[in-house]
Chains A and B, each alone.
Chain A
């Protein structure tokens, strides 16, 4: 009887922990966590196959994030390579209880992008628009293309932290807690940054559209 009560108490505590972490304790999450842990332990032991497996798994997301932050392929490649080099050299600093591998890698990429943007801010905005490719040619849908260019310009004009928050929230599907972890800020601060970013984008786009129509 007493054991049952204790068991119930444990279950309650586990549920509370998961609620706090906003993680559903389903089978796939548990498997993923184990998988992450195993792969990272193997990388720490110098296992090249495990390393390549993690690189393959996160390459698309990291490169897309860096590209949306930096806007050109050369710097994107440098940042992506540096991120994965750190996975190899700093794997022992990853802690499973603190963050998933994806969150940890995005945090590295975020820090590298922010450092890069702060060092060479002037070069970025001019390069940002050069290599973005739309899916429609300007002759097919000129209005839509113009709007996309305006959006890219507006994104390029955003302060780097606002741009990062929007990219992580809108394109990468991270939860608010994960983004806050990646950016090393509180959830409240993240909401404030996101709201400012969206308001800024909206205002910038409205001005562009009005200027375009007048």
Chain B
């Protein structure tokens, strides 16, 4: 495979002078072209200074930033108590049992809510003592007329 001088110029102008950055499929042909054409070598020399300058541009020390990001990532993935509860109730899983667990949980939810509500309101019965008094009161209101007859 060979490439034209125009294509070689386009490659150098776009990707620079380092063959490692050239398109993979044209790299070998471009290298051969460069080795055999003096004008291609001149073009490479022209753009080499820019590449060398770009190479010298180093990033500042970002270790503190990277530590902060890692801490943030740990907090994000740890989640809160509610997340853990939700994960426990509705586990992310491909397993069949996990998929069965979800509808079972949904079906149980009204039952659990009913039990909790009943426990909370007690339907007017507050305690043992109160319930006895309530019973006596109800007895006193009974109609005993039929018994006396």
Q: How far is the CB of A162 from chain B (nearest CB, A)?
A: 11
Provide the B43-80 mask, 1 if CB < 8 A to any CB of A, else 0: 00001001101101111111011101110111011100
| B contact face: mostly helix, strand, loop, or mixed | helix
Chain A residue, CB-CB nearest to B87: A46
Q: How far is the CB of A74 from chain B (nearest CB, A)?
A: 9
Would you call A195 an interface residue if the criterion is a C-beta within 8 Å of the partner chain's C-beta atoms? Answer: yes
Given A76-B62, A148-B56, A152-B57: A169 in contact with B73 (beta carbons within 8 A): no
Q: Which residues of B contact A148 (CB under 8 A)?
A: 53, 56-57
Contact A176 B15 (CB under 8 A): yes
Distance between Cα atoms of A34 and B25 in the complex (Å) = 25
Interface residues of A in 171-211 (CB under 8 A from B): 171, 173, 175-176, 187, 190-192, 194-195, 198-199, 201-202, 205
Contact A198 B14 (CB under 8 A): yes
Distance between Cα atoms of A203 and B135 in the complex (Å) = 100
Contact B10 A67 (CB under 8 A): no
Contact A45 B93 (CB under 8 A): yes
Chain B residue, CB-CB nearest to A46: B92
Would you call B16 an interface residue if the criterion is a C-beta within 8 Å of the partner chain's C-beta atoms? Answer: yes
Would you call A73 an interface residue if the criterion is a C-beta within 8 Å of the partner chain's C-beta atoms? Answer: yes
Provide the B1-33 mask, 1 if CB < 8 A to any CB of A, else 0: 000000000100111100011011100000000
Contact A132 B14 (CB under 8 A): no
Distance between Cα atoms of A67 and B69 in the complex (Å) = 14
B-contacting 9-mer, from A3-11, A80-88, A94-102, A115-123: A80-88
Q: How far is the CB of B61 from chain A (nearest CB, A)?
A: 7
Q: How far is the CB of A20 from chain B (nearest CB, A)?
A: 10
Contact A198 B62 (CB under 8 A): no
Contact B47 A73 (CB under 8 A): no
Contact A144 B56 (CB under 8 A): yes
Distance between Cα atoms of A155 and B21 in the complex (Å) = 19
Contact of B15 among A67, A151, A194 (CB under 8 A): A194
Contact A22 B50 (CB under 8 A): no
Q: Which residues of A contact B20 (CB under 8 A)?
A: 173
Would you call A55 an interface residue if the criterion is a C-beta within 8 Å of the partner chain's C-beta atoms? Answer: yes
Contact A59 B69 (CB under 8 A): yes
Residue of B15, B47, B53, B73 contacting most chain A CB atoms (<10 Å) = B73
Given A68-B59, A144-B56, A199-B13: A81 in contact with B21 (beta carbons within 8 A): no
Q: How far is the CB of A106 from chain B (nearest CB, A)?
A: 15
Contact A198 B16 (CB under 8 A): yes
Given A77-B65, A176-B15: A85 in contact with B76 (beta carbons within 8 A): yes
Given A63-B66, A63-B69, A195-B14: A51 in contact with B59 (beta carbons within 8 A): no
Give the A-binding residues of B (Cβ under 8 A): 10, 13-16, 20-21, 23-25, 47, 50-51, 53-54, 56-62, 64-66, 68-70, 72-74, 76-78, 87, 92-94
Instruction: Kindly list 12 other residue pairs between chains A and B, CB separation below 8 angstroms, not including A152-B57, A170-B21, A191-B15.
Output: A22-B23, A46-B87, A51-B76, A60-B66, A63-B62, A73-B62, A80-B69, A85-B76, A151-B57, A198-B13, A198-B47, A198-B50
- Can you spell out 26 A-B residue pairs with CB atoms less than 8 angstroms apart? A19-B25, A22-B24, A22-B25, A46-B92, A55-B70, A60-B62, A63-B66, A77-B65, A77-B68, A80-B69, A81-B68, A81-B69, A81-B73, A84-B73, A133-B60, A134-B58, A151-B54, A151-B56, A155-B57, A169-B21, A170-B16, A171-B54, A190-B14, A192-B14, A194-B15, A199-B13
